[in-house]
Amino acid sequence: MGVHLYDLVGFTGAAVLIAAYFANQQGQLPSDDWRFPSANLAGSVLIFVSLLFTWNLPSVVIEIFWAAISIWGIIRSLSRR
């Protein structure tokens, strides 16, 4: 049992989410900055792609909502500019 490409895609998505959250908590990436929801969207999409290969319905539901909320955040952030 080895690590597949889709696992690496999922791990990358998780790393993006964790990095964005850490930067937000450190005050380096405010939640109203368009880059924060963009990073969340990117991470969510990468995790979702990995879930297409190792299906887990509850996780898919979380990622769909995560992506939708991130898109809303991007739109809101850009409309304030």
The tens place of each residue's pLDDT in the chain, 81 residues long, gives 789 999 999 999 999 999 999 999 999 999 999 999 999 999 999 999 999 999 999 999 999 999 999 999 999 999 997
Q: Are 26 and 62 in contact (CB under 8 A)?
A: no
Q: What is the DSSP string of 25-58?
A: HTTSS-TTSTHHHHHHHHHHHHHHHHHTTS--HH
- Report the pLDDT value the prediction gives residue 79, as an integer from 0 to 100: 95
- Report the pLDDT value the prediction gives residue 81, as an integer from 0 to 100: 78
Q: Are 40 and 66 in contact (CB under 8 A)?
A: yes
Where exactly are the structural domains of the chain? Answer: 5-79
> 3-state DSSP call for residue 2?
coil
- Report the pLDDT value the prediction gives residue 73, as an integer from 0 to 100: 97
Helix (H) / strand (E) containing 12: helix 5-25
- Report the pLDDT value the prediction gives residue 1, as an integer from 0 to 100: 74
Residue 48 φ/ψ, nearest 5 degrees: -60, -45
